[in-house]
Amino acid sequence: MSEDSHAMSTTDRLVYMAHQIARNMAMMGEEKATEALAEHLTRFWDPRMKAQIVAMAKEQPERLSPMVAAAVARMAQGRPAPDVDAAQFNAVDEAGHCDAG
Amino acid sequence: MSFSRETDHGTPPALATGKSVTLTIDGQSVTLPEGTSIMRAASLLGGSIPKLCATDSVESFGSCRLCLVEVEGRNGYPASCTTPVAEGMVVRTQTDRLKQLRRGVMELYISDHPLDCLTCGANGDCELQDQAGAVGLRDVRYGYDGATNMGQAKDQSNPYFDFDPSKCIVCSRCVRACEEVQGTFALTIESKGFESKVSPSQGEDFLGSECVSCGACVQACPTASLIEKKVVETGTPDRAVVTTCAYCGVGCTFRAEMRGEELVRMVPWKDGKANRGHSCVKGRFAWGYAQHQDRILNPMIRASVSEPWREVSWDEAIAHTASEFRRIQRRYGTRSIGGITSSRCTNEETFLVQKLIRQGFGNNNVDTCARVCHSPTGYGLSQTFGTSAGTQDFDSVMQADVILVIGANPTDGHPVFASRMKKRLRQGAKLIVIDPRRTDLVQSPHIAAEHHLPLRPGTNVAMLTAIAHVVVTEKLYDEAFIRERCDWDEFQDWAEFVSEPARSPEAIEPLTGVKAQDVRAAARLYATGGNGAIYYGLGVTEHSQGSSTVMAIANLAMATGNVGREGVGVNPLRGQNNVQGACDMGSFPHEFSGYRHVSDDVTRGLFERTWGVALDAEPGLRIPNMLDAATDGTFKGLFVQGEDILQSDPNTHHVAAGLAAMECVVVQDLFLNETANYAHIFLPGSTFLEKDGTFTNAERRIQRVRKVMAPLNGYADWEIVQLVAQAMGLDWHYSHPSQIMDEIAALTPTFAGVHYDRLEAEGSLQWPANDAAPDGTPTMHIDGFVRGKGKFVVTDYVPTDEKTGPRFPLLLTTGRILSHYNVGAQTRRTANTAWHPEDRLEMHPSDADNRGLKDGDWVTLRSRAGETTLRVLVTERVAPGVVYTTFHHPETQANVITTDYSDWATNCPEYKVTAVQVMASNGPSDWQQDYAQQARNSRRIAPLEAAE
């Protein structure tokens, strides 16, 4: 971030957040911290955030530290994050019925 | 409840000694605790000894001589208020001689008192009047021609109450209430003898004095000398309903004293277990917003935020809300909408909003204002202790020997609890304050902190680790407690970490700016001074290491054995009235009620069976993530109940951009708040006076909120949410909030025993309240931590990325002031503005001199995020290099300045550390001018079309 600017894209922010969490977990040692970070992302990040950081890890791996990259990979191997699009929402009609599945 | 005054036993209960005595009063035998006054004993037997200077909120004084009694075997006529009961004592409260003496005393009082009872504001509610009747006063032999104190000018400077010295009987109840109950010492008796009179401060008027307008003096006054203006204007009330205040996390209970549907006054309820009969200026007086002309009472919609609002029927507004949310979901996906619950609304309303989102929206995109205040408390205490709540009740402070206050300013933020704390400090408990500012607690009448550690903002973790360093390296820890209650291996890892020389007070002194010997002395006091109790606020949580700081606090409490009994503990002072409840009710995007993760199949299955739908197992978006997703185009609709994120959340530009990117923003609120400038649908909300429900305060105490008048908007907030849910096809049919609480109890183990009939019977319950703790849990973790073994977590100091530099050399920290609440939406619409009409920027004299600024100058406050203008207040309350302001006024919008940096674990914003520059200004910033114009445009309401 520059001296004058505070603007940050969402992807930049997610990268920043992942590394911030990693810095605060670093005292655990690399293996434990990697596991803890993966669990933290799994438990607290919504699917689109997970998807964005996973995509970032693939497209611009140099932006993630080895430890964060390992945690993101571990997180991605866990519960799959479903896509978010209208196709997923298939049980709602105008009358308002919803099974919220 | 019909109207009757609360019983006044004349003197407070005796301090518990475990001993009791038996005596006889007017022929009745009674056994009472040692130390009880005769006056109180007689009252407990159902009698009432005449009195004027005695009231059970303050210690006995023995001044009025009306409460004289006869005691067999003793000479004279002792005052019953100052005479304790004794074994075998035989007391007579009514004899011919006593009657004669009392009449004589009363004659003297009345000889110098106006006889305007029929036109007096206290007519029918005056103890002097009552006591004149009780002693049988029939005439005044002295006449009224001599010198009197009548005819003196009234002091009407306070916006809420008048002081008429002519009606003062100089009983000193107000002076003692100010000292003993409130702890401000603003009042005194000026002069002596016949000239004696009550005086605020040094002969100033009430408004100009240090009086904080808590109302304790008004409550204590036995005449109309101190009386609420509203009573003078309206007359006395004819019914009273006990309810819970809607300001701050103390959760004071009040008698809402009514005449018809008009609220006459709010009087603190003596049986309230959170406030014990005390109040502050907000709860006691600042409720006028409920009837303010700015309230919006009809639903409104508009196609775009550039259009004026159009008033519509409830049916149209509700149908439009449901239709818009469904439209968005069809186009952008299930997870494209979400909502924000309100910490100002009831548990039941909050539960319904998160239910609407999980069950109706089909996702977990629900968050609450705790995101921006105490979410690190939830994370930190869950990690270390196993549950997200403070460990004590408020009464516990009276058993504390050392009180450590960090990042909290309770005299402003939690004033009623602060009064209790100050009472304990005056009894001799020691105080440590860790705060960048010299708050009132550091030095105020009869209070002085043993240690004030004015650390540089952003260095809490370094400071707490240094304190832990002293505790461990000087072997001040409680090994027996740790071995029994905590994981010993984790303790050893933590102890090794904190013991490293790099964590010593000497090593961190350059970071914190606090002298090492002061840190060492404070650490020794906390660890060895007896019961050590930690109280903390948003100065702990609103940092990039907020969660680490909470865990560091928990580490310290466990290491010194200060958890699991009265007088100790870890106590987060919650900001809003129901922020604890909002968190408890499942307002976070990753948790169901009772802090159970949405991915937990067993818990989710329970909710799915009860609600009849499959629920999302993935966590939803937090508020800042919602705004990010909105600017990215994947989050398009938001339901906001009773929050004003545009004013309260950090980096206003980003919040505005997020809201502007959405296709449907629904705001449910009392007023067209700042967030509503970006709303498409406005659903008028109801006040706490207009609905039933419960609030949960900072001590986990669940208390009833009771409807005292019909909602001006037509519906209670829970009814509005139900209408939206029904319009979205959900099968909801609640007819009373008690049914919602029954559902909460059925789904939430810690609330399993919470039902309205229990709340009616007990007055309140502190969760957990269930089969294991049928009467609730005042103190947590007594026999063991909720998580099993207490967990020591290594908390390394990681400096914030918000750095000062040549362009932004000062650190801004933000907070609140006594007279205002949160974004000020309520208090700005009351006479509380008399004390704080604008946000000011506190700056140290040296920093002001360097910039050529003097007190009252307009300045530009600029950070990397934005800039605003406000006036400067030059004061030594802040250290050089630090500036401070509040965020109560939208004209200032202090959060234009604050940044997107946030707590690493929870995204709680780093409100307390922003690098800024301050310079002289000629007027409002461009942003302020643009915003003012936009706000005006946005609040336009199209005139109603004439009916055909």
Which chain B residues are within 8 Å of A10, Cβ to Cβ?
628-629, 631-632
Separation of alpha carbons A4 and B380, rounded Å: 33
In sequence order, what are the beta bridge partners of B782?
Answer: none
pLDDT at position B931, please?
Answer: 87
Q: At B230, is the secondary structure helix, strand, or coil?
A: helix
Residue written as token pair 């050893």: B492
What single-letter DSSP state applies at residue B5?
P
Query: With an 8 Å Cβ cutoff, are B729 and A84 in contact?
Result: no
| A92: nearest CB among B329, B548, B619 | B329
Q: Report how far Cα A49 is from the mean position of its chain's Cα atoms.
A: 4
Tokens 């294991």 belong to which residue?
Answer: B772
What pLDDT, on a 0 to 100 scale, did the predictor assign at position B945? 65
Residue B184 is encoded by which pair of tokens? 């401000």
Token pair 């309240």 in the structure block, residue: B769
Residue B238: CB partners within 8 Å, gap ≥ 6?
A: B2, B3, B258, B259, B260
Rounded to an integer, what distance in angstroms lies between the CA atom of residue B814 and that of residue B910? 10
B200: which 2 tokens?
């605020």
Across the interface, of A4, A10, A96, the residue whose CB is closest to B631 is A10
Residue B489 identity (one-letter amino acid): D
Task: Tell me which residue in A26, A47, A95 faces B335 most closely, judged by beta carbons.
Answer: A47
Neighbours of B271 (CB within 10 A): 13
Q: Which residue has the tokens 């699009």?
A: A85
Give me the residue from A21, A43, A85 closest to B333, CB to CB. Answer: A85
- The closest of B31, B13, B14 to B22, measured between CA atoms, is B31
Q: Is the dihedral of CA B377, B380, B382, B384 positive or negative?
A: negative
Assigned token pair, B787: 């998580």
Q: Determine the Cα–Cα distance for residues B857 and B840; give it in Å rounded to an integer.
A: 10
pLDDT beneath 50, residues of chain B: 1
Distances (CA, A) of B890 to A43, B293, B824, B926: 36, 18, 8, 15
Q: Of B530, B592, B574, B523, nearest to B749 (Cα)?
A: B592
d(CA B891, CA B905): 32
CA torsion angle B889 B665 B599 B601 (round to 10): 120
- Cα–Cα distance, B775 to B772 (Å, whole number): 9
Chain A residue numbers touching B730 (CB-CB < 8 A): 96, 98
Whether residue A10 and residue B632 make contact (CB cut-off 8 A), yes or no, is: yes
Closest approach of A23 to chain B, Cα-based (Å) = 7
Helices (H) and strands (E) in chain B, counts: 29, 36
| Average pLDDT estimate for A20-32 | 94
Interchain CB contact of B803 with A (< 8 Å): no
- Smallest Cα distance from A39 to chain B, Å: 12
B631 touches chain A (CB under 8 A): yes
For residue B196, which amino acid is it? S
Could B625 and A49 be called an inter-chain contact, meaning their C-beta atoms sit closer than 8 Å?
yes
Contact assessment for residue B821 and residue B412, using Cβ atoms and an 8 Å cutoff: no
pLDDT for residue B713: 96
Check residue A74 and give its pLDDT. 95
Q: Which of B536, B388, B554, B406 is nearest to B482 (CA)?
A: B554
Residue type, B416: V
Q: Sort out which chain A residues have CB atoms less than 8 A from B623's CB and list them.
A: none
Which among B816, B813, B841, B823 is positioned nearest to B280, based on CA atoms? B816
Q: Would an 8 Å CB–CB cutoff place A100 in contact with chain B?
A: yes
A79 confidence band (pLDDT: 50, 70, 90): low
Closest CA to A33 of A77, A66, A64: A66
Helix (H) or strand (E) holding B423: helix B415-426
pLDDT of B651:
87
**Interface contact B362-A100, CB threshold 8 A:** yes
CA dihedral B759, B764, B769, B775 (to 10 degrees): -90
Q: Does B599 touch chain A (CB under 8 A)?
A: yes
Q: What is the DSSP letter of B79?
A: B
Q: CB of B467 within 8 A of CB of B528?
A: no
Chain B residues in contact with A13 by the CB 8 A cut-off are 628, 900
CB B840 within 8 A of CB B665: no
Tell me if chain A has a CB within 8 Å of the CB of B862. no
- Inform me whether the C-beta atom of residue A29 falls under 8 Å from chain B C-beta atoms: no
The helix (H) or strand (E) run that includes residue B508 is helix B505-512
Whether residues B333 and A13 touch (CB distance < 8 A) is answered with no
Q: What is the side-by-side strand order in the sheet with B430-434? A: B451-453, B430-434, B402-406, B532-536, B569-572
Sheet containing strand B239-244, edge to edge, reads: B239-244, B253-259, B262-268
Between chains, do A98 and B358 touch, taking CB under 8 Å as contact? Answer: no
Tell if the CB–CB gap between B634 and A26 is shorter than 8 Å: no
Chain B residues 519-548 with CB within 8 Å of chain A: 544-545, 548
Cα–Cα dist A8/B651, whole Å: 12
- Candidates B655, B674, B675; CA nearest to B665 is B675
Q: How far is CA B792 from the centre of its chain?
A: 30
B598 at interface of A, judged by CB pairs closer than 8 A: no
Interface of A with B in 64-93 (CB under 8 A): 79, 81-82, 84-86, 88-89, 92
From A4, A20, A42, residue closest to B864, measured CB to CB: A4
Chain A residue with Cα closest to B808: A3
**HSE, side-chain direction, 13 A CA sphere, residue A21:** 26
* Full 3-state SS string of B747-802: HCHHHCCCCHHHHHHHCEEECCCECCECCCCCCCCCCCECCECECCCCCCCCCCCC
Q: Which of B367, B493, B628, B804 to mutate to test the interface with A (most CBs of A within 10 A)?
A: B628
Q: Where are the beta strands (DSSP E) in B758-913?
A: 764-766, 810-815, 840-843, 858-863, 867-874, 882-886
Q: How many CA atoms lie within 13 A of B775 on its CB side?
A: 3
Confidence of residue A90 (pLDDT cuts 50, 70, 90): very low
Residue B588 C-alpha, separation from nearest chain A C-alpha, in angstroms: 10
Q: Say yes or no: B382 contacts chain A, CB-CB below 8 A.
A: no
Contact B509, B515 (CB under 8 A): yes
Nearest to A46 among B359, B620, B632 (CB): B620
Q: Which residues contact B763 (CB under 8 A, 6 or more apart)?
A: B271, B272, B273, B703
Residues whose CB is less than 8 angstroms from the CB of residue B458 and which lie 6 or more positions away in sequence, other chains included:
B543, B544, B799, B800, B802, B811, B912, B913
Give the one of B359, B628, B906 whose C-beta lies nearest to A100's C-beta: B359
Interface of B with A in 866-925 (CB under 8 A): 899-900, 904-907
Q: Which of residues 315-344 of B touch A (CB under 8 A)?
A: 322-323, 326, 329-336
**Residue B260: DSSP 8-state:** T
Between B460-473 and B488-499, two packed helices, what is the crossing angle to 10 degrees? 110
Task: Write out B473-507 in H/E/C secondary structure.
Answer: HCCCCCHHHHHHHECHHHHHHHHHHHHCHHHCHHH
- Full DSSP string of chain A: --SS-----HHHHHHHHHHHHHHHHGGG-HHHHHHHHHHHHHHHS-HHHHHHHHHHHHH-GGGS-HHHHHHHHHHHHSS-----SGGG--S--TT------
Are the beta carbons of A96 and B727 separated by less than 8 Å? Answer: yes
ipTM over 0.85: yes
Helix spans in B178-285 (H): 216-220, 229-234, 281-285
Whether residue A101 has pLDDT greater than 70:
no
Buried-state track B177-207, b at ≥16 Cβ within 10 A, e below 16: bbbbbbbbbbbbeeeeeeeebbbbeeeeebe
> With an 8 Å Cβ cutoff, is B619 touching chain A?
yes
Helix (H, G, I), strand (E, B) or coil at B470: helix
Contacts of B333 in chain A (CB under 8 A): 84-86, 88-89
Q: Does A3 contact chain B (CB < 8 Å)?
A: yes
Token code pair at residue B591: 């948790």
* pLDDT in the model for residue B946: 58
CA distance B490 to B479: 13
B884 three-class SS: strand
Q: Look at residue B58 in the predicted model and tell me its pLDDT.
A: 97
Q: Which of B318, B323, B324, B326 to mutate to test the interface with A (most CBs of A within 10 A)?
A: B326
Asked whether the beta carbons of residue B904 and residue A82 sit closer than 8 angstroms, the reply is no
